[in-house]
Structure 1
Amino acid sequence: MIENPSADETPSPHPRRVFVLGATGSIGRATVRALVARGHEVVCLVRSRAGPGGALQPDDMARLLPGANLRFGDVTDAASLSIDGFRGERFDALVSCLASRTGAARDAWAIDYGAHALALAAAQKAGVGQMVLLSAICVQKPRLAFQHAKLAFERELVASGLTYSIVRPTAYFKSLSGQVERVRRGKPFLVFGDGRLTACKPISDTDLGRYLAECLDDEARWNRILPVGGPGEAITPRQQGEILFALLGRAPRFRSVPLALLSAVRRVLAGLGHFSPALAAKAELAGIGHYYASESMLVWDDRAGRYDAEATPSAGTQTLADHYARLLAGTVGDERGDHAVFRTASPDRRGST
């Protein structure tokens, strides 16, 4: 079941013509629904086969994005963006929920930076004066290729002269749902270390989609970088497990995965990667996993040298406990795709799309 926020939406006082990238992902779909519900005219540039493994065909996308006008093209090709996407027409705003699928260097620079740079240039030619960009809170402490790629485009957008809103969400519900079925089957909840190494304020797709859509009208969010999490206190992985066990009516059971083990795996793969591109790619993904196992998805206080939950803004109404309850009841589906803290035991690369 897809949650529909339209009944709760306030119509925009200034309906716009909005061009959307990244519309077929779960957050992109939520954003499109919020934009349409607020009365905007929404045009989405999508691939002819989208989703993980190209599973979504045009009819599927039309069903998932009601009220939006779909155009088919390639976001990594300047000509396609112009001819298939903007088509020489005028638009008021560009909203992007586009993100690289794996976070690996080649993918990140092609999508998180390259595709966005091309889209920005095409948008300016189409008269666009405003852009809302979905980024990631983890770019505060950049160590990974996709973080540097995202930051490179953030800088380009800020310098462009467009009115911008750069939204840096914390963790997504889907990223923290990888162990629901595992625990339902009676297995322990896996944590790195004692499960208290990191914390986050997870936000739902619906709440984030609404937040992104509201950026078009809320002048307080213009020309700002906007970290945002969901409602409530920051929670650790251990607390996530406790929530899940409580919903199942069971005593909590945890199994610790040493963080040093992940570091060792990364080093071994990096060494072997000199001889095998496939292993080099796995080493890169292990590095991404290590980052998310050791860094909180909260606002970083550089002066204090720590993450600050109190300084991390909250938005929306839906909690992770609500989401777990709906998953267990079967009233929502698991749309993790490439976003899972533990598919077996690997953290999500973004905490962030």
Structure 2
Amino acid sequence: MFLVTGATGSLGRRIVRQLREQETPVRAFVRLFSRYEELEHRGAEIFIGDLRQDRDIEKACQGVEYIISAHGSNGDPQALDYRANIALIDQAKANNVKHFVFISVLGVDRGYEDAPVFKAKREVEKYLVASGLNYTILRPSGFANNLLPLAERFRETGIYLLIGDPKNRSSIISTDDLAKIAIASVSVEGAKNQILPVGGPDVLKREDIPRIFSRLFNKEPIVINVPLFLFDGLRSAIGLFNPQTQRSLGTLRTLLANEFFCTPQEIAHLESIYNIKLESLESFLRRYLGG
């Protein structure tokens, strides 16, 4: 039995689907108001709970052998990225869970003080490594599915909004590939007790993304490049009225201001460990959007 948190999110949903395609028992941790009908239809065991409640985490972990922590912060990194994962790790130890897979983020070890999600995930990584559990920590550089709504908007308008340096590089991972890797991590020997950067096979500049959209839809891109200082000004103005939102935007600011990519050597190592050929961003978008 797998327990998957964040089971209705873009990654968690794919993990549950793939587990059920393998006819593997899976318990999907979901919120009451989330859309979980598809997962139930696929045969997942639905656990309705709140990751902010220790009692719900305790109940969800009973009788499971593997845990994949795939939930996001939902605007509350202290409660969800940090405390909920600490509680999951503690319950994994109490229930003799065989393997714990934690979805972290690339660059989490760079010390970004202005990014609460990065700080929370780094502390969870350290706690998990010291826990004595068998673990795999995956540090993805960005989810390909996050570009789907941007691509749809581009298809309608031809406009692409690019905030910050167009030359900044990334290696965005196919969310389907990341789900496969997360599942395989509990059984692949080379993934045991490892921290692994995870990215797609291509290192892309941010300005390459509208060019990919252009090829997909045969439409000349209109790129609006907004300087980062304008984002900073907006964030400061928001802070006058809502300091909490200003702080939470620090993670987005970190993502916009820096590069997040895997080296070719890291990608080759990842493909070797999991015996997988990673999908390019363009291939992922074509599968979902046609073109």
Q: How does 1:71-82 map to 2 (within 5 A)?
A: 71-82=47-58
Q: Give me the CA root mean square deviation.
A: 2.2
By percentage of residues, which structure has more helix?
2
In structure 2, do the counterparts of structure 1 residues 170 and 194 end up closer, same or farther at CA, with 3 Å as the change threshold?
A: closer
Distance 1:250 1:90 in 2: 52
Gaps of 5+ in 2: 272-276
Is contact 2:7-2:16 (8 Å) kept?
Answer: yes
Quote the residue 2:163 is aligned against: 192
TM-score (norm 1): 0.73
How far apart are 1:117 and its partner, in Å?
A: 1.2
The amino acid of 1:158's aligned partner reads V
Deviations 1:73-130 (A, max 9, x none): 22221222223x23xx43322121122123xxxx101011111111222222222132
SS at match of 1:189: strand
Distance 1:245 1:252 in 2: 6
115-124 or 37-46: bigger deviation: 37-46
Gaps of 5+ in 1: 1-16, 51-55, 300-308, 331-353
SS at match of 1:225: strand
Is contact 1:112-1:149 (8 Å) kept?
Answer: yes
TM-score (norm 2): 0.88
Distance 1:146 1:170 in 2: 14
Is contact 2:65-2:99 (8 Å) kept?
Answer: yes
Quote the residue 2:178 is aligned against: 208
In structure 2, do the counterparts of structure 1 residues 92 and 295 end up closer, same or farther at CA, with 3 Å as the change threshold?
A: same
How far apart are 1:40 and its partner, in Å?
A: 3.2
1:227 to 197, 217, 234: 197
Is contact 1:167-1:228 (8 Å) kept?
Answer: yes
Matched, 1:183 2:139: no
SS at match of 2:210: helix
The amino acid of 1:321's aligned partner reads E
Distance 1:254 1:310 in 2: 28
Deviations 1:32-89 (A, max 9, x none): 2233344532222322222xxxxx2x534413xx132222222221222223x23xx4
The amino acid of 2:245's aligned partner reads K
The amino acid of 2:9's aligned partner reads G
Distance 1:118 1:74 in 2: 12
Distance 2:279 2:78 in 1: 33
In structure 2, do the counterparts of structure 1 residues 37 and 290 end up closer, same or farther at CA, with 3 Å as the change threshold?
A: same
The amino acid of 1:205's aligned partner reads T
- The count of aligned residue pairs is 282
Percent sequence identity is 27
Q: How does 1:43-82 map to 2 (within 5 A)?
A: 43-50=27-34, 56=35, 59-63=37-41, 66-82=42-58
The amino acid of 1:124's aligned partner reads K
Q: How does 1:177-326 map to 2 (within 5 A)?
A: 177-193=148-164, 195-196=166-167, 198-231=168-201, 233-270=202-239, 272=240, 276=241, 279-299=242-262, 309-313=263-267, 315=271, 316-326=277-287
